[in-house]
Amino acid sequence: MTTRPLRADARRNVEAILDAATATLARDPDASINDIAKAAGVGRVTLYAHFENRGGLVAAVVERAMREAEASLRDVDLSGDPAAALVRLIDATWQVTLRYGALVVAAEKSMPVTEMAAAHSEPRARAQRLIDHGRALGRFRTDLPVSWQVTAMHAVTHAAATSVYAGELPADEAARAIAATMLGLLTPPGQVVPDVDALRVGR
Amino acid sequence: MTTRPLRADARRNVEAILDAATATLARDPDASINDIAKAAGVGRVTLYAHFENRGGLVAAVVERAMREAEASLRDVDLSGDPAAALVRLIDATWQVTLRYGALVVAAEKSMPVTEMAAAHSEPRARAQRLIDHGRALGRFRTDLPVSWQVTAMHAVTHAAATSVYAGELPADEAARAIAATMLGLLTPPGQVVPDVDALRVGR
DNA sequence: CTCTTGTCGTACATCCCTGTTCGACTTATG
DNA sequence: CATAAGTCGAACAGGGATGTACGACAAGAG
């Protein structure tokens, strides 16, 4: 069942289609196959030569996105000072969100809910581990549900991406803004909000 | 050009259609006219008798939603202690978001961008006034763009709505969670996060 | 009660998108 | 350079949604 190697231009086209689909579907989840093919500089028929149907294409796109995202996030160090770890996690998360955030949101519609849940569960679990850690050390607030805090974190990150797309927020300020926002969001009432920049000196 | 009064049942149907469209479009922005008509307990043709086309229908739905939302939010007192005012604004905003949030998000797709911007501009301006006020008093952080803070506020509110729809967050806890989150989000680094519940005793 | 207004089902034309087939053409590979 | 692999445009059938037209029927207003 090992398919034999594609010709060079075919391989190139598959990549181009995947890239175009990533960008196009992010902009419009209902983009037609035609739009995607044109954006890839390829005939519609060629696209069908490589992907069974629409579902197959978006599955491939999302799968690739998830693989790359997972790779970037896997080895973020979540130990040590929770606030510093939070900043590290956000820096890493921001990169993948900027590239794939809109796509994932777009895909949420055309994908089975279970798959979407699976896609989000890993990043959510990571964030939750971090928050639990910070709570255990008394550094993060405990008067709100953890699941809500994770959701809010997710939402703020997506909002930043939208903001950047809209040109309201410069891309290079985004990570700092998210981190600052999040730090405030997690600090317990009655405690002092830590300064972001002190935690981000390494950048 | 004053259209003469509709018959009683016609008026009832228009309302039913508007209600059904609000609910149906919130669930699925691409819902067909047929779905909406059925949900309203009305024939598809009847729907066309009252609304020129799809665009006209969603325009009417959104316009009604905005009018009602505006009415609820108009007279929130934004003066006095900024943190307390924030809680008041959030309580009011939460109500309309819970009812119309999903719809507005859904409509963002099929509506001209300019109209959407207009729809959001009023609530945004209100939030911005409040934040400016808090900043002037040294109560809110100034190390992040105001527009970003407004966006984050918006995003968190929507996230809460999504969370409630998903059953993760009880509806009656949502307003408190949003307010607590937002307070943290606006408190300057180096300052103490105020306690939400102290500010919400009135409820 | 009568007449106007509104409703409903069916049917129809139209449009757009999907997925497939075909044959001619181009490009990589050996 | 010769062959196999890949591309392309045009064209087709199918399905679904939109918007319109018609005629029979129900319901509110006076």
What are B110-126's pLDDT values in tens digits?
Answer: 666 666 677 788 889 99
Can you tell me the distance from the alpha carbon of A111 to that of A164, in angstroms, rounded to the nearest whole number? 26
Question: Are A95 and A172 in contact, with CB atoms under 8 Å apart?
Answer: no
For residue B166, the model assigns a pLDDT of 81
What average pLDDT does the segment B179-188 reach?
91
Say whether B192 sits in a helix, a strand or coil: strand
Tell whether A38 is within 8 A of chain B (Cβ).
no
Residue-level pLDDT at A201: 61
Contact B67, B52 (CB under 8 A): no
**Fold of domain B62-189:** Tetracycline Repressor; domain 2 (1.10.357)
Contact check, Cβ <8 Å, B181/A144:
yes
State the Cα–Cα distance between residues B42 and A109, nearest whole angstrom. Answer: 27
Q: How far are the Cα atoms of A49, A86, A95, B34, B129 from residue A68, in angstroms, in the given order?
A: 25, 21, 11, 41, 41
Q: Encoding tokens for residue A10?
A: 């075919």
- pLDDT tens for A108-118 read 666 666 666 77
Amino acid at B144: L
Partners of B188 on chain A (C-beta within 8 Å) are 193
Question: Residues contacting strand C at CB < 7 A?
Answer: A 7-9, 32-34, 44-45, 48, 52-55; B 6-7, 9-10, 13, 41-46, 49-50
Confidence of residue B101 (pLDDT cuts 50, 70, 90): confident
pLDDT single digits (tens) B50-90: 999 999 999 999 899 989 888 999 989 999 999 999 999 99
Please give the residue that has the higher pLDDT: either A93 or A5: A93
Q: How confident is the model at residue A138 (pLDDT cuts 50, 70, 90)?
A: very high
How far is it, in rounded angstroms, from Cα A185 to Cα B184?
5
Q: How far is the CA of A54 from the C1' of D11 (A)?
A: 21
Q: Is the dihedral of CA A84, A88, A91, A96 positive or negative?
A: negative
pLDDT at B122: 86
For A130, A146, B168, B178, B187, the CA distances from A125, given in Å and listed in that order, are: 9, 11, 15, 22, 27
For residue B157, give every residue at least 6 positions away whose Cβ sits within 8 Å of its Cβ, in sequence order, or none. Answer: B90, B93, B94, B97, B101, B178
What confidence score (pLDDT) does residue A102 get? Answer: 77
pLDDT higher than threshold 60 for residue B2: no
Q: What is B8-51's CATH number, 1.10.10, 3.30.70, 1.10.3470, 3.30.2010?
A: 1.10.10
Nearest Cα residue in chain B from A196: B189
Please report, for residues A44, A112, A113, A147, A151, the alpha-carbon distance to residue A22 in angstroms, rounded to integers and kept in the order given.
16, 18, 19, 29, 24
8 A C-beta contact, residue B104 and residue B29: no
Q: Mean pLDDT for chain A?
A: 88
Contact A193 B195 (CB under 8 A): no
Which amino acid would we find at residue B107? A
What gap in Å lies between CA A162 and CA B149, rounded to an integer? Answer: 13
Q: What is the mean pLDDT of residues B127-149?
A: 95
In strand C, which positions have an atom below 7 A from any protein CB? 5-11, 16-22, 27-29
| Tens of pLDDT, residues B5-18 | 788 999 999 999 99
Residue B107 clears pLDDT 80, i.e. is over it: no
Residues of B in contact with A155 (CB under 8 A): 155-156, 158-159, 162
Q: Cα B103 vs. chain centroid, distance in angstroms?
A: 9
Domain ranges of chain A: 8-51, 61-197
Q: In this structure, are residues B142 and B188 in contact, taking their beta carbons and an 8 Å threshold?
A: yes
- Locate A200 and state its tokens: 């981000």
Band of the pLDDT at B41, cuts 50, 70, 90? very high
User: Which of A147, A149, A188 is opposite residue B193, by nearest beta carbon?
Assistant: A188
d(CA B149, CA B59): 29
Name chain A contacts of B177, Cβ cutoff 8 Å: 144-145, 148
Q: No. of H helices and E strands in chain A? A: 9, 0
So what's the ipTM on this one?
A: 0.78
Do domains A8-51 and A61-197 share one topology? The answer is no
Q: Does A75 touch chain B (CB under 8 A)?
A: no
**Min Cα separation B182/chain A (Å):** 7
Mean pLDDT of A152-178: 90
Class assignment of domain A61-197? mainly alpha
What's the token pair of residue A60? 């491939």
Per-residue pLDDT averaged across A175-182, rounded? 92
